[in-house]
Amino acid sequence: MRAWERYFDTIDSVVAEVRNTQGDNIMKAAELCAEATLKGGIIYAFGCWHSLLVAAENFYRAASPANFAALAVQSINGTLELSNEGNLESCYGIGNSIVDYHRLDPKKDVLICISNSGNNIVTVDAALRAKEKGIPLITITSVDYGNTMITKHQSGKKLKDIADVVIDNKCLIGDAAVALDGLNVKTGPVSGIVMNYIMSSLLVEMSEIVLEKGAIPEIYYNGHVKAMSEEAKAEFAWLSGVDPQKHNDALVEKYFYRIKSL
């Protein structure tokens, strides 16, 4: 079996373990997000570096909720001066400032903190600030991997110790999938793919709960649908007669002044 096939098998096994063990936690998190949605709130997601990419993947994109927002901070978003980001994510005060600046509302919003280790100071700070303000808090993290680490934060806590709902991504120790003959270090990251599965499944479940409660979730169309011919759209009943540009523009207009990074 080639390395790429072993990588597929490893990712499939981790995703299967999440599916088999985290259903209750995904449902609890989806209920919190649905409650926020029904109250007219925002589902915020935050993480540093690669963890923020999990939030960004579902922000202002096709098939995702319009009331979902990634809290993107340029200095720690995984795109600039990456070798310095490890220092920045260990600074106190940044996480507090992020929660405060974006005016998260404990009466209707929810925060999802994402960190494979659950041990970054900035993310733990954000989580602690959210709890201090009474904001419902969800985390996506690796519980077993986090348990192997000495706690960095002065509080002595990791994300798994703070959140109302903890979704365990079951990531492998070292966040690496494949051992190759002749190479001492394993290769092939795990956590990002699995956490994207979790995040998207959580938001899909949230949408179903909102529907079951008698409301319509606000979901973006893929922008490229507007380039499809009417004949092509007619082949797919849910796209027939759709004006995706008008639909998406209306959602942007609704949330433009509420989501600072939109």
Asked whether 58 and 33 are in contact (CB, 8 A), the reply is no
Rg (CA), the chain: 19
Q: Provide the pLDDT for residue 49.
A: 75
Which CATH topology does 3-220 take? Rossmann fold (3.40.50)
What's the mean pLDDT when you consider all of the chain?
A: 92
Domain limits of the chain? 3-220, 224-262
Asked whether 219 and 248 are in contact (CB, 8 A), the reply is no
Asked whether 234 and 59 are in contact (CB, 8 A), the reply is no
Q: Provide the pLDDT for residue 90.
A: 64
Q: Provide the pLDDT for residue 86.
A: 63
Burial class of residue 246 (count of CB atoms within 10 Å of its CB; 0-12, 13-18, 19+): exposed
- Better-scored residue on pLDDT, 190 or 85: 190
Looking at the chain, the whole-number percentage of residues with pLDDT higher than 90 is: 73
pLDDT in tens, 170-222: 999 999 999 999 999 999 999 999 999 999 999 999 999 999 999 999 999 99
Q: How many of the other CB atoms lie within 10 Å of CB of 202?
A: 25
Is pLDDT of 234 > 90? no
Highest mean pLDDT among 12-26, 37-51, 95-109, 234-248: 12-26
pLDDT in tens, 48-78: 878 888 999 999 999 999 999 999 776 565 5
Take residue 232 and report the two structure tokens written for it.
């092509």
